Structure 1
Amino acid sequence: MFARLLRGIGANAFSQLVIIGLQLALVPVLATHWGLKLYGVWLMLFTIPSYLALGDFGFATAAGVDMTMKVARGDKAGTLVTYHSAFAAITFVSTSVFLIAVLVCALLPNDWLNFGIGVSPGAIRITLVLIVAYGLICLASSLLMAGFRCSGLYATGVMGQSVTQLAEGFACIVTVLLGGSLLAAATAYVVTRTVCVIGQTLMLTFQVPWLRLGFRGANLDEIKRLAKPAAAALALPFAQAAFLQGTPVVLGVATGAATVPVFTTVRTLIRAGVQFTTLLNHALMPEFSTAVARSNARLQRYFLFATLATDAAILLPGAFVLLVFGQKIVVLWTHGTVHPSFDLIIVMTAVMLVNGMWHPVSNLILAANRHASYSYTYLAAAIASVALTYPLSLWRQATGAGLALLALDCFMFIVVMRLAYVQIIRQSGAPGAPQESLLQDQILQDQISQDQISQDQISDVI
């Protein structure tokens, strides 16, 4: 187990370096070679993939946790049923979303696509379709990651995802440096992601021959069973999309567009700090799922305390660096174009500390498929935070938007820590709802396995 954890931590470290490196590289390249206006249009268009990531209705997340628990119980047949059922659901939804998106793009009035950037409405339409396709292809990566995770190959899956992100980011940068347009950049993303997804599929099939992607084991009963945790999982990205995209929009409406880059630049900086807390946390998630499936209360508590200790060890030094050097870092990074106030740095550093403590703990609850206990609350709180952004922004400009985020994170800190105490510290391993739900899940899965996949059919599914 510890060898897997170390490999997972190493893979996560590489992933964070890739993400941070791309964030630092893409902004100056695109802004310099395209200009701020064209770059701004690209940013607006490229928010689409973040919303299309919701298009699987949470099935990839729910299936990943469920598959990990089934493998821990030695239920390969049940794992295949879940895997194929989730793939069938995601394929149906993705195809429907793509066809609707193509129709909408074709019917959009030309006036809506005239951004005054010298790009024809026709080119914008094709770019939109390609970006939609890219977002939907990303869903395949999510489901493949579920396969790697449940098979004990979490580190391999993360490395594959990181190489994919690095390749498509590099392709975009090269395309822009060679004078490529919005359409060319979108094409680079689609082609690179498609090639990498094919590579990930072959890699998983080669390493885990019994876990082949397909539809043979899919059935409607399993899709219905996954629907409840999938719906709860769907609330999580909806909440994140709400405050990540909604807060800058409301800030711009309240104070003007000039304050938005100040806020988003500092937010990007503090999110880089939070991302480092995932080095151990994401590697722990499949191990935590296994501990839950085996009702190992002691190991669950150990993982919780290890998460909290690691978070504190990363966040406290990071907060010191931001408080002392944060303004200088932003000015240097943006070549003197963004000058955040010290008040904003203080507030966003507090956001980093609070968010970096509760979010990794919430991932452990997610790894136990108990995320319904907080996901809907998170969504409601995120929407309330966006609404709170308007009056606070009128009062304190960009710092007000930061205060709205801080209020959201403080509230979620209380909610998640209480759940962690109840579900992990106090009740883990005791007879209760979590173990009962696992038993019911096993009984239902046994019935599905007997009814849908006989021993003679397993070889066909594999």
Structure 2
Amino acid sequence: MLRRIILGLGANAFSQVITIVIQIFSLPLFLLYWDAATYGSWLVLSALPAYVGMADVGMVGAAGNKMTMAVGRSDVAEANRIYQTAQLFMTVMCCSLAAIIIPAALFLPLPDSMTTDKRIALAALMCAVLFALYGGLQEAVFKATGRYAAGTMLGQTVRLAEWGGYMAGLMLFRTLAGVAICGLVARAAGTAAGVYLSQQGDHKFRLGFQHASKAELLSMIRPAVSLMAFPLASGLSFQGVTLLVAALAGTTAVAVFNTYRTIARLAVQVTGMFSHAVQPEFSRLFGEAGMKGVRSLYRHSTRLGAVQSIVLSLVLYFMSPFLLRIWTHGRIEFIPSMMMWLLVYAAVGGVWHVPRILLLATNQHIGLAGWFLLSGILSVALGWLFGIIWQVNGICAAMLVSEMFIAAICTYIAHRLFAEANS
């Protein structure tokens, strides 16, 4: 288990490297072949399919957790039944959406600015998202069969290949449609490779629908839909707070605030890399022995996650003047009070990351979902109230209060489940 966790950490670190590479090289490469207006059009078009990415309504995550728990109690037949049920759901969902969104993107009346080139690009980008959704189900097979690191590496390699396809299309065709189609071809090929590789090995997960079950589908609806509350709450906490800073303090303050928040959340990201590596082990142990089975791993990983978050936040506070000077070329100055608020907020966020992952991994997050959504609303509401009085520092303080609120709720739910297991 320790070996799998370490490999998972390495895979998650690889994911971060891929993200950094894409972020660093995308802008200069696009602007090498396009003007700023064309690149702006690409950014708008590539942002629209994000809504299609929520079309699985959390089914892939819920099914992956349930598959891993079934493998943990050696019920391979149930695990395969869950897998084939999710396959059927995703196949119907993806094909139905493709039949709707492709004609809509190509032929639906849209503003005159939507040229044929842009329409084709939009259709291709949406199809790529659908392939990514289906590929996520194959990554769930890797996780359920003790190959989380391999599945994560494969998924990130496919993401890198898709970006490489975009760059190849940019160099070869220099049109929006050419870029999007080349990326789609790379994503489709990567998804096909993922399907093939997920079937290798002596496990019993098999492609097909013959063992799909209506009862299994119904049992996954509540945890699947509940998962959707988390990205919604995150959107409120991130985009909502950003808009709030802009409304109360102006766009210059937004640039400063977002830069500070990015640095502060490095501590949360490191803790997240660790907790996501532990997630499949939580699912497997829970399937094998319930909450009693995960107690020891939970205790150790919670302590380690908390130490990581707190220590990294302290280190970042003292390193942030240097980081700001290098990263922003001295254009954004170090403001100790704002950095302190955001780093304490980040430390609290890292402390409760492992308890949250435990609830997600065992599909016991239903009770947390509503509270998480409430915390997102609370961060915006308190941010407005505190921001009127203390400006950006007040918004930072509101973020900390809402984070402490949801951290306490999540930790309480996790400990209550352990108490119920002992009674």
TM-score range, shorter chain: 0.7 to 0.9
Aligned residues with identical type, % of pairs: 28
User: Deviations along 1:13-71, whole A, 9 cap, x unmatched?
Assistant: 32233334434444565578767665555444434454333211111111111111111
Offset of residue 164 of structure 1: 1.9
Q: Which amino acid aligns with 1:243?
A: S
Matched, 1:311 2:305: yes
Pick from 302, 319, 329: which aligns with 1:325?
A: 319
Does the CA-based 8 Å contact 1:4-1:152 persist in structure 2? yes
Q: Unaligned regions of 5+ residues in structure 1, if any?
A: 115-119, 432-462
TM-score, normalised to structure 2, is 0.87
| Corresponding residue of 1:443 | none
| Corresponding residue of 1:222 | 216
Q: Give, in whole Å, the separation in 1 of the partners of 2:401 and 2:223.
A: 27
Cα pair distance change 1:14/1:246, threshold 3 Å = same
| Corresponding residue of 1:109 | 110
Q: Give, in whole Å, the separation in 1 of the partners of 2:159 and 2:188.
A: 12
| Corresponding residue of 1:123 | 117
TM-score, normalised to structure 1, is 0.80
Q: Give, in whole Å, the separation in 2 of the partners of 1:396 and 1:162.
A: 42
Q: Give, in whole Å, the separation in 2 of the partners of 1:265 and 1:387.
A: 22
Q: Give, in whole Å, the separation in 2 of the partners of 1:394 and 1:329.
A: 30
Matched, 1:289 2:283: yes
Does the CA-based 8 Å contact 2:64-2:144 persist in structure 1? yes
Does the CA-based 8 Å contact 1:30-1:176 persist in structure 2? yes
Matched, 1:72 2:107: no
Offset of residue 336 of structure 1: 5.3
Offset of residue 393 of structure 1: 5.0
Q: Unaligned regions of 5+ residues in structure 2, if any?
A: none
Matching of residues 342-361 of structure 1 within 5 Å: 342-361=336-355
Aligned residues: 422
Q: Give, in whole Å, the separation in 2 of the partners of 1:178 and 1:254.
A: 45
Does the CA-based 8 Å contact 2:33-2:174 persist in structure 1? no
Greater shift in the superposed pair: 328-337 or 376-385: 328-337
CA RMSD of aligned residues (A): 3.1
Q: Give, in whole Å, the separation in 1 of the partners of 2:40 and 2:370.
A: 32
Q: Which amino acid aligns with 2:404?
A: C
Does the CA-based 8 Å contact 1:260-1:398 persist in structure 2? no
User: Deviations along 1:209-260, whole A, 9 cap, x unmatched?
Assistant: 6312332222322211211211222222232233333333444455444443
- Three-state SS of the structure 2 residue aligned to 1:294 is helix
Q: Give, in whole Å, the separation in 1 of the partners of 2:347 and 2:173.
A: 41
Matching of residues 48-447 of structure 1 within 5 Å: 48-102=48-102, 104-105=104-105, 106-107=107-108, 109-110=110-111, 114=113, 121-172=115-166, 180-208=174-202, 210-295=204-289, 297=291, 299-335=293-329, 341-392=335-386, 399-424=393-418, 426-428=419-421, 430=422
User: Deviations along 1:368-419, whole A, 9 cap, x unmatched?
Assistant: 1101120121123213423444455555555555444333322111111111
Does the CA-based 8 Å contact 1:262-1:340 persist in structure 2? no
Offset of residue 362 of structure 1: 0.3
Cα pair distance change 1:395/1:191, threshold 3 Å = farther
Cα pair distance change 1:174/1:71, threshold 3 Å = same
